[in-house]
């Protein structure tokens, strides 16, 4: 049973939101999900989207997704892809859906002359880390991700 990857369409929004919630639950972050179907649909399926989603299917049934956007490297002088979310339903893990989603993004990078494909992984997520290591994805240990949100973001904006 081959896994196929296709771009998401507006009719996929319920499935996409279910994958977002399932990923958040797996990452123990379900309490942080504020996005709604309308929020995601408004960004994914607008006239000029800046957010994109690919769906992995097995026998025509959605089994996973990748949500991504373009970033830019001033050092490389080219765009790249930042993978925001990658999720495969537990019962489909090991069937190649995750690799198929990443392969599709790597193929997009190659076809468009993009410099890199990058993402973040939680330090405790050993299965994901092992999967990424198996693909040859190197950890960027010299970088620490920093983030401003909520009141800290507002405080800086108003200072």
Sign of CA pseudo-dihedral 117, 118, 119, 122: positive
Cα–Cα distance, 47 to 95 (Å, whole number): 34
Question: Encoding tokens for residue 21?
Answer: 């919630």
Q: Is residue 52 within 8 Å of 68, Cβ to Cβ? A: yes
Cα–Cα distance, 81 to 52 (Å, whole number): 10
Mode of pairing for the β-strands spanning 3-7 and 52-58: antiparallel
The residue from 26, 72, 82, 132 that is catalytic is 132
Respond yes or no: is residue 132 known to be catalytic. yes
Residues with active-site annotation: 132
């Amino acid at each position: 049973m081959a896994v196929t990857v296709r771009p998401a369409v507006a009719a996929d929004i319920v499935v996409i939101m279910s994958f977002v919630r399932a990923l958040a639950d797996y990452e123990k972050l379900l309490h942080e999900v504020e996005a709604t179907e309308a929020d995601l649909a408004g960004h994914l399926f607008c006239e000029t989207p800046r957010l994109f989603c690919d769906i992995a299917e097995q026998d025509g049934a959605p089994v996973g997704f990748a949500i991504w956007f373009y970033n830019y490297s001033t050092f490389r002088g080219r765009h790249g892809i930042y993978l925001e979310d990658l999720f495969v339903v537990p019962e489909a893990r090991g069937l190649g859906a995750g690799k198929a989603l990443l392969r599709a993004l790597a193929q997009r990078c190659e076809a468009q002359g993009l410099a890199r494909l990058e993402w973040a992984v939680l330090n405790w997520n050993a299965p994901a880390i092992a999967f990424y290591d198996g693909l040859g994805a190197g950890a960027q240990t010299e970088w620490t991700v920093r983030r401003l949100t909520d009141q800290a973001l507002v405080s800086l904006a108003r200072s």
